[in-house]
Amino acid sequence: MTLSKIWVLAEAENGEVASTTLELLTKARDLADTVECFYAGDDADDLAETLGEYGCETVHQTGDLDGALVGVPTAAAVAAAVEAGDGPDAILCGTSYDGRDIAARLSVKLDRTAITNVVDLELDGEALVGTEPIFGGNTDVKTKFAGEGPFIALVRPKSFAPEPSGGAEADVEDLDVPDLGSSAGATVTDRHVEESDGPKLDEAGIVVAGGRGLGEAEKFAMVEDLAKALGGAAGASRAIVDAGWVPYSSQVGQTGKVVKPDVYIAAGISGATQHLVGMKGSKHIIAINKDPEAPIFGVADLGIVGDVHKVMPQLLEALASR
């Protein structure tokens, strides 16, 4: 069995289709006969070729939203299409700031639940079933949508490997955005990009991350230096982001970024479930921590029970002298 139609939220990053969108399109092709996208904005033409290559036949775009935060108008436009009978059987959104807003608004508009933190999707007859890890990933729960669709799922990044289908450029069609009434009004007035050197955290082949075991904010420089020496990106546990040592954009974990690099080096991170969920898909994990009981050693391929303040400088020196 397959569903007849799935809509995937198309998102763009720096003018290109976000990798999460391509992952969702790839999975959607397995689940439905027709895969289409919806998009918040008026420049879907620029994305149509890539979206088509991954199996999207039509992109439904909202048009210019005049700076509005996308959740309210996008959900209203999709809900109107569903009510008009043009909608899909399932709606997949990546777990991003905007994806969450849109899925949550849609859930109320359509009076359907939204299943969140999904890492896998399958069909049971005509019903969609999502898999969601809980307790930091030691337990998987499978949740089946009850009643009629559209089923709404928020899927975590990197849940599927993106594969092109070789499809033709997608058609672009306009959605009608209905009157938003009293829910309108949240407007973006300015955007700030926090520049960082080197590869992006969620795309880097090597990630070096630091945690509370570093002791003080200044010691995060060791993590940055090692990342730089290895051509990788620096990340952080929630504890030191909350403490204000590093910006939120560096956070790896349940909240924050999901990373799956070839090599993940955890320095002074104990491995709270919050953190493990975001990094245990890494191909190889190296951990340095002074507590031999730290949960991070349970997932590490190489664990060093030792003081990061000794091991890291030695490691940096050894790498520098190569």
Q: Single out the residue of 16, 42, 49, 138 in contact with other proteins (rule: CB under 8 A).
A: 138
Q: Which is nearer to other proteins, 63 or 306 (CB)?
A: 306
Q: Single out the residue of 139, 197, 218, 320 in contact with other proteins (rule: CB under 8 A).
A: 139
Length, in residues, of the chain: 322
With binding defined as CB under 8 A, does residue 13 bind other proteins? yes
What CA–CA distance (Å, rounded) separates 15 from 46? 8
Select the span of 58-66, 82-90, 215-223, 244-252 touching other proteins (CB under 8 A): 244-252
Q: Which is nearer to other proteins, 2 or 183 (CB)?
A: 183
Tokens of 106: 């849609």
- The residues, ordered by sequence, that sit 6+ positions from 106 with a Cβ below 8 Å of its Cβ are 75, 78, 79, 91, 112, 114, 152
Nearest to 121 by CA among 33, 29, 11: 29
Interface with other proteins in residues 45-64 (CB under 8 A) = none
Interface with other proteins in residues 157-216 (CB under 8 A) = 181-194, 205-206
**Under a CB-based contact definition with an 8 Å cutoff, are residues 9 and 93 in contact?**
yes
With binding defined as CB under 8 A, does residue 25 bind other proteins? no
What CA–CA distance (Å, rounded) separates 300 from 21? 30
Q: Single out the residue of 112, 158, 219, 275 in contact with other proteins (rule: CB under 8 A).
A: 112
Cα dihedral 143, 147, 151, 153, rounded to 10, equals -20
Q: Which is nearer to other proteins, 121 or 272 (CB)?
A: 272
Interface with other proteins in residues 293-322 (CB under 8 A) = 297-307, 310-311, 314-315, 318-319, 322
- The residues, ordered by sequence, that sit 6+ positions from 97 with a Cβ below 8 Å of its Cβ are none
Q: Single out the residue of 58, 61, 74, 254 in contact with other proteins (rule: CB under 8 A).
A: 254
- The residues, ordered by sequence, that sit 6+ positions from 185 with a Cβ below 8 Å of its Cβ are none
Angle at 64 between CA 62 and CA 65, to 5 degrees: 85
Cα 79 to chain centroid distance, Å, stands at: 24
Interface with other proteins in residues 28-47 (CB under 8 A) = none
- The residues, ordered by sequence, that sit 6+ positions from 169 with a Cβ below 8 Å of its Cβ are 48, 49, 52
With binding defined as CB under 8 A, does residue 133 bind other proteins? yes
Q: Which is nearer to other proteins, 164 or 247 (CB)?
A: 247
With binding defined as CB under 8 A, does residue 260 bind other proteins? no
Q: How far is the CB of 89 from other proteins (least distance, A)?
A: 15
With binding defined as CB under 8 A, does residue 104 bind other proteins? yes
Q: Which is nearer to other proteins, 166 or 321 (CB)?
A: 321
Interface with other proteins in residues 67-86 (CB under 8 A) = 69, 71-72, 75
